[in-house]
Structure 1
Amino acid sequence: MASKKGKLFIVGIGPGDISQLTVYAQEVIQSSELVIGYRTYIDLIEGLIENQLIMQTGMGGEVERCQLAIEAAKEGKRVAVISSGDAGVYGMAGLVYEILSTSRCVSRAPSAQNESPAFEIEVVPGVPALCAASALLGAPLMNDFASISLSDLLTPWDVIAKRIEAAAKGDFVIVLYNPRSSRRTEPIQRVYRILSRYRKPTTPVGIVKNAYRDDCHVIISDLNRMLSCDIDMRTIIIVGNSTTFIFENRMITPRGYTAKYDLYSE
């Protein structure tokens, strides 16, 4: 009898509140034999945990979690790796594929010799943090935007700075992930200095902390006051472009309809 083929799901759980998970993500988590994730994210989905085996690690254990998941899937298990937001946006999907690409495990498409894959992989989409933040702020991402992480753990600061400069110069709305930690306070100040060369002090800035969680905090401010706001690693910052405006305490970036259509009614 052929051994059971495993399946590895890389699941985006959205911003945190269980109501923001997709129905399919919930089904995958509940039907998995093994659920692996960062301790905080496992806590966020505890209502979906019944008889599944749980493996959790702390901050910095991403590689270990992916390796554990791969080994379990190779053994024929149905495994769910948990990622916040969307697994393919600063999430776990890329790391799983990177590890597999450097190993000899045949796990994606069958080879030319018609070998069977060792296990299947499926990425389950979730609501990205930038979309959750955008919804709470209004409609700041209605036109072109750039998403940039300020964490220099894996990307050198000079590369990050070049991306900020290019996005600011190109008048993109800019989404900032991982803006400030307790030990990493200088990058956001550098970003402010770069942005100040291209954006007016009154440029709208939206700040969302812990989107859709119990301690969610939403602020609409401006570039001039951005650094005085409460900012940490759980914060998403959205910096408007030259057309972004504030209406009824909401942040809006026009798509361009006003120039083409008559939007005014009696």
Structure 2
Amino acid sequence: MKQLLGIIKYLAVIAISLLALIPFYVLLYLSLNTPSSNVFEGGILPVPNFYFGNFKKAWFASQLGTAIGNSLIITVGALFIMVVLSSAAAYSIARFNSKMNSVIFNVLLICMMVPAIIITVPLYTLMRSIHGINTLWAMILLLASNGLPMAVFLYTSFIKALPREVEESAIIDGCTYFSAFWRVTFHFLKPVTASLIILSGLGIWNNYGQAVFFLQKQEMRTVPLAVSMFFQKYGADWNQMAAAAMIGLAPAVLAFLAFQKYFIKGITAGAVKG
């Protein structure tokens, strides 16, 4: 009976995995098909024509090289700000109990529940007042501030699980709390930092809802905006859209593969220590 249940579990996992891969196969199929074949047809698992011209056309038509560069600058910049500010703020909240820290933490929790799209109108007014429309630096600050509440929450939970002796020994040796955090405590935050980079990084890379409002010039567009051009300027060109989406997915997939080991460690460590 146990063996039968084990087989059923494995079959269920395989079925779920295959269902999750279907959209990616459809995307790959469309990207490798000729322009005359822009629908998914030919049976349950059709074979594409292996036409690679769509990738070349999509690259130049939507200026994907510029878009990938913009997305990379925004993602790296926002993540750097998030990691530095949220880890330091979380250390203060986790290690120094005070009413002010408690209020700040609760306010951040409330901010996590507010959808970013709701505050788009006031943000647009603010961005115009600081001349941040169509600028990468303003988009970096915007997306970093959107992700700070969740980042502080993750770091706070992780730091609270660490023993205080981690930094107290350094403080006894003459370090300040500031230097003890960056020299000692932060070293133990690598798993949760990797988790934050993957979770928040993918969200920033794929951000469309706010980028479409604040990055209106073509030379400032990110990957999601570049892909969306095939529904606006060039009509519903499914083959080039799929090719552009595949190219845009590549950096995100490579980043996930590079950090997945640390991501799994972060999830496992958080589960054990929590």
TM normalised by structure 1 equals: 0.23
More strand by percentage: 1
Q: Which structure would you say has the larger Rg?
A: 2
More helix by share: 2
